[in-house]
Amino acid sequence: MIVFIARRLVISFFVLLAATFIIFVLTALSGDPLEDLRQDNSPNKANKIADRTERMELDVPIPVRYLGWLGRIVRGELGVNRDGQDVAPLLGHALSATLQLVLAATVLAIVVGIVVGIVSALRQYSGFDYSVTFAAFVCFSLPIFWIAVMLKQYMAIEFNNWLKDPGIPPTVIGVLTLLGGLIFGALTVGDRKRRLLAFLAGAAISGALFTLLSVTRWFADPGFGLPLVLAISLAAAVGFTVLSAGLRQRGPLYAALAAALIGAVASQVLAPMLVDPTWLEIIGLALVTVVVCVGLGYGLGGFQRRQAITASVLTGLFTGAVIFLDHMLQAFASYSKVVRGRPISTIGARTPNFAGDFWQLNLDSAGHLLLPSMALILVSLATYTRYSRASMLEVMNQDYVRTARAKGLPERTVVVKHAFRNGLIPVTTLMAFDFAGVIGGAVVTENVFGWQGMGNLFIKGLREVDPAPVMAFFIVTGTAIVVFNMIADILYAYLDPRIRLS
């Protein structure tokens, strides 16, 4: 294994080196770096040209310039751009902005994509499956910039206008009701009567929900409040128990329910602390939650200790997330007032000169992250859905799944323990590729949303025929791709013992 990693590292190093040479030469050849100065009419034009020529070493052949750049890199310098700014701090800012954007989008795409993919595999050839497949194809074919401009128009400008008087018109409620019913109906298997019942139930639930939200003007001052937090957490507790242990044994269920209850109570007890916390405190609380939940699962789990621990930890963290969301939503009204009723923003990463407490600051970043993330997610989401669907279908046809069913195991155990884990192996590799790709691929999204990230650094450098920022960008993305590819290979060998690294 170590020999394999070492060999891969050495090869990757040389591959990366060759790639830097290609990019450097191509960038340097891609245009005239003095173009803007040649059209300059100021008296010191000649001076400026001489200045830049010296700074960018334009009088030296390109390969020699590359060697100079390489020498500086070895010494740990990224060089200066054509205006003489040091590239390193520029890269630092850009990287942190892009990571913020990409991390949130990727995590969301992975979770939602895998869940949707698996459900559509388990319900193969159902209405849901066809709709998901079609939606995935549309997502593959959408130009990201086009959808980004649409999002700006409909999700930001019109949504913000709507927030002034957030009542949902009856026709929209009707459409949403129909949609809810269709989703429920398409997810149900069985004869026509059962599906019709599911359709009616889904329609009734969503219709009632949206009417209530509209009548109470919920969107003007959103929030859950304790009863709703408790209800959501308890439902989640049951859900996680069903997934991890089933309801046959009581132990895991009690552990998960206790985790939800304790979480809800803790949110009240800790209320003073949650008025204006720091991220450190939030992380601390999450750790405490995990410890308490492991204890609960261990104590109450009985025979199914391990499953009980899984269920209670998931429930505990989920409850924590709901409480967090609740606090964010409660800060919404005051935040909305500060930004003059336009909470969804279309430009940049934060409102300039904005000051507020922890929740308002988070809302501010969330409002700025929302649209670019949505634009970024669409394609990744489709990829994850397709992949996990295909791999789940493949696994469900394997002999060991048939064996598991033949043994008389409940379908839940077959799906969760025998199929799900093996079905995820190929998806793990995809995650590694995708994350590395997205860092470089956010170029277009950043451009539309005026996000000062890596993509912007690259495009600006390329327009100005300035190799230093372009190379800084490439060193990060190229290294990410190489490293993530290696992680993917190692993970694959670890998860699937049939694969041997050599």
For binding to other proteins (CB under 8 A), which residues are involved?
Answer: 11, 14-16, 18-19, 22-23, 26-27, 29-31, 125, 137-138, 140-146, 149-150, 152-153, 157, 437, 440-441, 443-444, 447-448, 458-459, 462-463, 473-474, 477-478, 481-482
Dihedral angle over CA of 157, 161, 167, 169, nearest 10: -60
Give 372's contacts (C-beta < 8 A, 6+ positions apart).
101, 105, 148, 442, 445, 446, 448, 449, 451
Q: How far apart are the first and last CA of the chain?
A: 8
- Residue 331: which of 358, 294, 365 has the closest Cα? 358
Nearer to other proteins, 259 or 448 (CB): 448
- Backbone φ and ψ of 459, nearest 5°: -65, -40
Question: CA-to-CA distance for 254 and 96, rounded, in angstroms?
Answer: 42
Instruction: Tell me which residue of 116, 145, 107 sits closest to 435, measured CA to CA.
Output: 107
| Strands of 106-241, DSSP E | none
How far apart CA 166 and CA 406 sit, in angstroms, is: 54
Q: Which is nearer to other proteins, 13 or 354 (CB)?
A: 13
Q: In the bound complex, what is the minimum distance in angstroms from residue 142's beta carbon to other proteins?
A: 6
Shorter beta-carbon distance to other proteins: residue 135 or 409: 135
Distance, CA of 162 to CA of 417 (rounded, Å)? 46
Compare residues 217 and 463 and give the one whose CB is closer to other proteins: 463
Distance in Å, CB of 336 to other proteins, minimum: 23
Closest distance between other proteins and the C-beta of residue 130, in Å?
8
Tell me how far CA of residue 437 lies from CA of 311, 412, 430, in angstroms. Answer: 33, 35, 10
- Least distance CB 209 / other proteins (angstroms): 31
Nearer CB in complex with other proteins: 25/321: 25
Residue 160 beta carbon to other proteins: minimum distance, rounded to whole angstroms: 14
- Tokens representing 499? 């694969």
How many CB atoms are closer than 10 A to CB 76?
7
Unique residue bearing structure tokens 């190692």: 490
210 in Cβ contact with 177 (< 8 Å): yes
User: CB 440 → other proteins: shortest distance, Å?
Assistant: 4
Output 326 or 446, the one with its CB closest to other proteins. 446
In the bound state with other proteins, the residue whose beta carbon lies nearer, of 18 and 291, is 18
Q: Which is nearer to other proteins, 300 or 448 (CB)?
A: 448
Question: Residue 218 or 433: which CB sits closer to other proteins?
Answer: 433
Minimum distance of other proteins from residue 132's CB (angstroms) = 14
HSE-CB of 450 using CA atoms within 13 angstroms? 9
Neighbours of 17 (CB within 10 A): 11
H/E element, 7? helix 2-29
The least distance separating other proteins from the CB of residue 472, rounded to whole angstroms, comes to: 13
Length of the chain: 502
Q: Which residue shows structure tokens 């609960």?
A: 296
What separation in angstroms does the CA of 146 have from each of 7, 68, 151, 373, 375?
43, 41, 9, 14, 9
Which CB sits closer to other proteins, 146 or 303? 146
Q: Which helix (H) or strand (E) holds 47?
A: helix 45-55
Q: Which helix (DSSP H) or strand (DSSP E) does residue 345 occupy? A: none
Beta strands of 233-298 (E only): which ranges?
A: none
Q: How far is the CB of 371 from other proteins (least distance, A)?
A: 14
CB of 390 to other proteins, least distance (A): 11
- 3-state DSSP call for residue 43? coil
Q: Are 200 and 181 in contact (CB under 8 A)?
A: yes
Least distance between other proteins and beta carbon 93 (Å): 20
Nearer to other proteins, 336 or 346 (CB): 346
Tokens 């430009």 correspond to: 347
CB of 433 to other proteins, least distance (A): 10
Quick one: 182 or 483, whose CB is closer to other proteins? 483
